[in-house]
């Protein structure tokens, strides 16, 4: 029977053996991660077929599961084929699904593995897209960053709506949720989409999930000198406490929001390491957008002031690496026809024209 050492090691759940076989210093003597066994299964199937005995202690079970998950991640990092089809016409993901009927505990374990695989799959799709996008130089690139739930996807949608669409969709898209009512479906990974502003100007928008720094590689910002980054943060917020919802004014969350903005600016800067430019125009251009303007409508001056302060402070901190535009935006991301949204569109268009030149 033809079985590769890696398959056997994974089948037995031996993390140490898998690591040895895939050790980078082995170079071309390293195990081939995609070798198949007689049933056309690669090592990803093998680790899914690794059975942990029920007759050992809980601690031991947990330890073995942890190791198994590390093996899965190791194989994924080595670019193992996720779409491998065995003789029964099954794939690793299908095999996992067949395990969901098991005990609660076991299905949680397989769900975890499924998550790892799906995440890797997304990451790979995204890399492919990146390569395709690389040959579309005529479209301005827009990267929308910011923590989860700040309003990136909402903003991206609103930018595209003209007044007719705004009217048609006003009952749901233009309506903004109250504090505590803003639950939503988070963007998974990165959503790359080609959008058109109402006047027809096109952009390819890279809408990140709040957690997307995990997906980002340095190569994606190779042409950051021509890209535009929008960093979104909240100008007002709320906390859930035992007494209910506690509303937070701009001045109360200023420190926290500034930290978040700085986090993304550092992130943008770090992915551009080594691309420092003396020429200010060649630095990554960043637009700061504060969302949830509607929640701060009782303190419009405070909101403007806090946004301006955050802007001025980070502009100073990052002045050698990033070009943070002078414009300050405090926006309700649902309101596609407000004057700040219109001003944002105008800035984006100018930026694109400048890049094309």
Ligand X SMILES: Nc1nc2c(ncn2[C@@H]2O[C@H](COP(=O)(O)OP(=O)(O)OP(=O)(O)O)[C@@H](O)[C@H]2O)c(=O)[nH]1
Residue 283 near which of ligand X, Mg ion, none (CB within 5-8 Å, type-dependent): none
Residue 336 near which of Mg ion, ligand X, none (CB within 5-8 Å, type-dependent): none
Residue 90 near which of ligand X, Mg ion, none (CB within 5-8 Å, type-dependent): none
Q: CB 274 → Mg ion: shortest distance, Å?
A: 29
154 is a site residue for Mg ion (CB under 5 A): no
37 is a site residue for Mg ion (CB under 5 A): no
Residue 161 near which of Mg ion, ligand X, none (CB within 5-8 Å, type-dependent): none
Binding stretches for ligand X (CB under 6 A): 146, 148-154, 176-177, 182, 184, 186-187, 209-210, 291-292, 294-295, 332-334
Q: CB 290 → ligand X: shortest distance, Å?
A: 9
Q: Which of 271, 154, 295 is nearest to 220 (CA)?
A: 271
Residue 37 or 228 with smaller CB distance to Mg ion: 228
Q: CB 193 → Mg ion: shortest distance, Å?
A: 11
Residue 137 or 186 with smaller CB distance to ligand X: 186
Q: CB 266 → Mg ion: shortest distance, Å?
A: 21
187 is a site residue for Mg ion (CB under 5 A): yes
Residue 166 or 333 with smaller CB distance to ligand X: 333
CB-closest chain residue to ligand X: 151
153 is a site residue for Mg ion (CB under 5 A): yes
Binding site for Mg ion (CB under 5 A): 152-153, 187
């Amino acid at each position: 029977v033809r079985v590769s050492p890696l398959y056997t090691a994974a089948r037995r759940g031996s993390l140490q053996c898998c690591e040895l076989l895939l050790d980078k210093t082995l170079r071309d003597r390293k195990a081939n991660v995609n070798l198949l066994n007689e049933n056309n299964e690669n090592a990803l199937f093998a680790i899914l077929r690794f059975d942990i005995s029920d007759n050992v202690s809980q601690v031991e079970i947990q330890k073995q599961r942890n190791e198994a998950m590390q093996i899965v991640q190791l194989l994924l990092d080595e670019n193992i084929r996720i779409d491998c089809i065995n003789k029964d016409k099954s794939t690793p993901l299908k095999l996992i699904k067949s395990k969901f009927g098991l005990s609660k505990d076991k299905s949680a374990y397989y769900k975890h593995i499924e998550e790892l695989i799906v995440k890797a799959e997304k990451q790979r799709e995204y890399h492919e897209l990146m390569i395709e996008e690389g040959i579309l130089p005529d479209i301005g690139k827009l990267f929308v960053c910011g923590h989860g739930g700040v309003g990136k996807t909402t903003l991206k949608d609103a930018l595209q709506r003209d007044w007719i669409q705004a009217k048609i969709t006003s009952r749901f898209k233009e309506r903004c949720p109250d504090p505590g009512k803003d639950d939503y479906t988070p963007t998974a990974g990165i959503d790359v989409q080609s959008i058109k502003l109402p006047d027809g100007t096109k952009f390819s928008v890279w809408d990140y999930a709040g957690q997307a720094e995990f997906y980002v590689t340095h190569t994606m910002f190779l042409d950051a000198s021509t890209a535009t980054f929008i960093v979104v943060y909240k100008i007002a917020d709320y906390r859930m406490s035992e007494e209910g919802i506690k509303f937070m004014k701009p001045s109360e969350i200023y420190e926290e929001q500034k930290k978040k903005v700085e986090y993304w600016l550092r992130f943008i800067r770090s992915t551009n390491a080594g691309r420092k430019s003396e020429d200010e125009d060649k630095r990554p251009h960043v637009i700061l957008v504060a969302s949830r303007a509607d929640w701060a409508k009782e303190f419009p001056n405070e909101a403007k002031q806090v946004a301006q302060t955050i802007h001025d402070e980070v502009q100073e901190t990052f002045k050698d690496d990033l070009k943070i535009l002078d414009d300050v935006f405090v926006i309700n991301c649902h309101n596609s026809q407000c004057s700040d949204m219109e001003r944002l569109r105008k800035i984006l268009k100018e930026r694109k024209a400048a890049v094309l030149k």
